[in-house]
Structure 1
Amino acid sequence: MREYSRTDRVADQIQQELALLIQREVKDPRLGMLTVSAAKVSRDLSYSDVYVTLLGDDSPERIKENLAVLKRAAGFLRSQLARTIQLRHVPELRFHYDESVVRGHHLSSLINTAVADDRKRSAERGDDDSEDGAPGTTPDA
């Protein structure tokens, strides 16, 4: 089993600390409600890719605006991280929008639509669904 590497530990700590710092210290009114979903640190700890998601309005314009605010605050956030994380060199912060939540919602809605369509077709054909949900089977009488 692979052991928990130093870069993974540093990334987890950066993720936790940045979530608090952005919430408490960044006072830009353009910054929406966002969460730090992940952080990945390079092997040499020179940079960290930080992935954020927006709650509520996630239009492309809002995403771009929030990333610009975070990019401008990156130096401040890095200096604040240096105070809390005991590292010789704090990684440079690069912010990215995490689309996995949006993709997950989209895939979930596609699956729900497909299941509803299957049930509708099954009902139109007159097939009875058993209690376990297997299409085309009938419960024993």
Structure 2
Amino acid sequence: MAGERQGRLSDRVRVIIAERLDKGLRDPRLGFVTITDVRMTGDLQHASVFYTVYGSDQERADSAAALKAATGMLRSEVGKRLGVRLVPTLEFIPDALPENADHISSLLREAHERDAAVAGLAAGAAYAGDEDPYVKPRELDEDEADERA
């Protein structure tokens, strides 16, 4: 039951912050920020807000500073719209999702290239021994089949 409430509040906080950022802050440092996830502690006192920023490293740093500066305002907005007795503290954490996705893409590309190289080597390869090394039961000729019957 508590986990269900925690999940509902996390989703609600994510929507409230995303809508507020969509309206815009009066901070020119804030870039194109996307709220990816919000995780609440079990006692609902702290919310870790994960976000990504589209742009360069400098734009990411500027957006992080803008979010840090706007934390109080965003927390009061969350408190107003949530209607809970104790408003959770907000902590903005850059989400490493895009970097991880790029890394995984490069690993997959490298694996594909290696697979293609191995397939190229295998195309011209010959078997070291017999083509089919497994022993098969020999087929009985007609005389042996008659004897067994």
TM-aligned CA deviation for residue 120 of structure 1: 2.8
Partner of 2:140: none
Max Rg structure: 2
Once the two structures are superposed, what CA deviation does each residue of 1:84-119 show, in whole Å capped at 9, x if it has no partner? 112112111110000022112211221122112211
Contact 2:31 2:62 in 1 (8 A): no
1:112 aligns with 109
Residue in structure 2 matched with residue 28 of structure 1 by the alignment: 27
Q: 1:73 maps to which residue?
A: 70
TM-score under structure 2 length normalisation = 0.74
Between Structure 1 and Structure 2, the one with more helix by share is 2
The residue number in structure 1 matching 2:129 is none
1:69-108 alignment runs, 5 A limit: 69-108=66-105
Backbone CA RMSD of aligned residues: 2.1
In structure 2, C-alpha distance between the alignment counterparts of 1:78 and 1:25, rounded to whole Å = 15
**Shift of residue 67, structure 1, vs aligned partner:** 1.4
Following TM superposition, the consecutive aligned residue runs of length 4 or more in structure 1 with deviations greater than 6 angstroms are none
Q: Determine if contact 2:3/2:42 at 8 Å carries over to the other structure.
A: no
Please state whether the residue corresponding to 1:38 is helix, strand or coil. strand
TM-score w.r.t. length of structure 1: 0.78
User: Where does residue 122 of structure 1 map in the other structure?
Assistant: 119
Distance 1:119 1:63 in 2: 37
What SS does the aligned partner of 2:48 have? strand
For structure 2, list consecutive stretches of 5 or more residues without a partner in the other structure.
125-149
Task: Name the SS of the counterpart of 1:88 in structure 2.
Answer: coil
Provide structure 1 residue ranges, at least 5 long, that are not aligned to the other structure: 128-141
- SS of the residue aligned with 1:5? helix
Report the identity percentage. Answer: 28
Paired position in structure 2 for 1:42: 41
Taking a change above 3 Å as real, the CA distance of residues 87 and 31 of structure 1, as seen in their structure-2 partners, is same
